[in-house]
């Protein structure tokens, strides 16, 4: 049998369902999923096997109008992910249709994806009637020559197998890029930090939009097979530190417990997780923080 392998970039607006689709394709939780927009920062690659084909997914940050350095670096990473991939899949939310943001992406798509195959995936199809879906598909295809259109629900799994099988047939022939049992090429330290950041985002909701980041400072493998993981949560203000800690440390305890349980499930072994909160007013402008997130600090200029 001939093996195939290639990179697939998932692009779209924030919250279009890219992370959910990636996790569904890969069959494991690789990219954090929250209800807050712009939660995906680094270009996380999940690896999915389909027959003799290996699909390496690039889960790009959502494309939006950037205002700050971090925003600009995220948008640059998203377009960079599309430009580097063999196939690009644009996700559009069925119930939101062609928003201003989708229109902007469509305008930039031709330039970035020159010579690449681009498919359309209309997501969250369970939220609209079928005639509206067909109209939206037609409208989008009138604006850009998509090679194929898929109707999916990433959350429920509808249509995802069809998309994965089609992608498997389209990627180039060649050797696999990763060992078969490897689901993500993000270092485990970064995945661990993402898991904790997800728990913080879910717990704090609107209180701390994007003003925090998590870094795994130390990872110690213990003789009994468990792992000790030390992480730092960076916030920009003293007041934020109090919010993260919560009354009598309740918030940080709950976050630590939820993150530790998920890490144990992910790693299949015991984890001792230690969290610290530090105030760093300028972390949004520190090159080092960006490289920890897999972003290029220089892309934030402009």
Band of pLDDT at residue 40, cut at 50, 70 and 90: very low
DSSP code per residue over 251-296: HHHHHHHHHHHHHHHHHTS-EEEEEEEEE-TTGGG-HHHHHHTT--
- pLDDT of res. 221: 85
The dihedral formed by the CA atoms of 12, 10, 85 and 32, expressed in degrees to the nearest 10: 120
Instruction: Report whether 102 contacts 92 (CB < 8 A).
Output: yes
Q: What residue ranges of the chain are covered by domains with CATH 3.40.50.300?
A: 4-170
Q: Kindly report, residue by residue over 123-142, the tens digit of the pLDDT.
A: 999 999 988 999 999 999 99
How much helix, strand and coil, in percent to the nearest 5, is found in the chain? 40, 25, 35
Q: What residue ranges of the chain are covered by domains with CATH 3.30.300.20?
A: 188-300
In the block, tokens 């569904």 appear at: 24
Mean pLDDT in residue range 92-104: 91
- CATH for the 188-300 domain, from 3.40.630.30, 3.40.50.2000, 3.10.560.10, 3.30.300.20: 3.30.300.20
- pLDDT of res. 35: 47
Instruction: Report whether 38 contacts 59 (CB < 8 A).
Output: no
In eight-state DSSP terms, residue 64 is -
Which three-class secondary structure state does DSSP give residue 203?
helix
- pLDDT of res. 91: 93
Band of pLDDT at residue 3, cut at 50, 70 and 90: very high
Band of pLDDT at residue 41, cut at 50, 70 and 90: very low
The dihedral formed by the CA atoms of 46, 48, 53 and 56, expressed in degrees to the nearest 10: -10
Instruction: Report whether 36 contacts 86 (CB < 8 A).
Output: no
Q: What is the mean pLDDT of the chain?
A: 81
- CATH for the 4-170 domain, from 3.80.10.10, 2.30.330.10, 3.40.50.300, 3.40.50.1010: 3.40.50.300
Over 70: is that where the pLDDT of 237 sits? yes
Contacts (Cβ under 8 Å, ≥6 apart) of 179: none
Write down the pTM of the prediction: 0.63
In the block, tokens 């009138």 appear at: 142
Rounded-to-integer distance, Cα 163 and Cα 269, Å: 34
């Amino acid at each position: 049998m001939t093996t195939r392998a290639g990179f697939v970039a998932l692009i779209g607006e924030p919250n279009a369902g890219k992370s959910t689709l990636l996790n569904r394709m890969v069959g494991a939780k690789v990219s954090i999923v929250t209800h807050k927009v712009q939660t995906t920062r680094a270009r996380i690659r999940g690896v999915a096997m389909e027959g003799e084909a290996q699909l390496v997914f690039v889960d790009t940050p959502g494309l939006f109008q950037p205002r700050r350095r971090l925003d600009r670096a995220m948008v640059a990473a998203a377009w960079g992910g599309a430009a580097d991939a063999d196939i690009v899949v644009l996700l559009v939310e069925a119930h939101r249709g062609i928003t201003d943001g989708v229109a902007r992406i469509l305008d930039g798509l031709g330039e970035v994806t020159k010579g690449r195959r681009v498919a359309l995936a209309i997501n969250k199809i369970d939220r609209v009637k079928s005639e509206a879906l067909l109209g939206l598909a037609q409208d989008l295809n009138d604006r850009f020559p998509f090679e194929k259109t898929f109707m999916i629900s990433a959350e429920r799994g509808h249509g995802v197998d069809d998309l994965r099988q089609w992608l498997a047939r389209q990627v180039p022939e060649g050797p696999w890029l990763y060992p078969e049992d490897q689901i993500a090429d993000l270092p485990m330290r970064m995945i661990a930090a993402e898991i904790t950041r997800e728990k913080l985002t879910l717990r704090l909701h609107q209180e701390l939009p994007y003003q925090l980041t998590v870094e795994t400072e130390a990872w110690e493998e213990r003789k009994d097979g468990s792992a000790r993981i030390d992480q730092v949560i960076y916030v920009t203000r003293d007041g934020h530190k109090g919010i993260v800690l919560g009354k009598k440390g309740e918030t940080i305890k709950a976050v630590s417990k939820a993150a530790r349980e998920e890490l144990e499930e992910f790693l299949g072994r015991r984890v001792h997780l230690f969290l610290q909160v530090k105030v760093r007013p300028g972390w949004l402008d520190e090159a080092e923080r960006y490289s920890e997130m897999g972003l290029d600090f220089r892309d934030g200029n402009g």
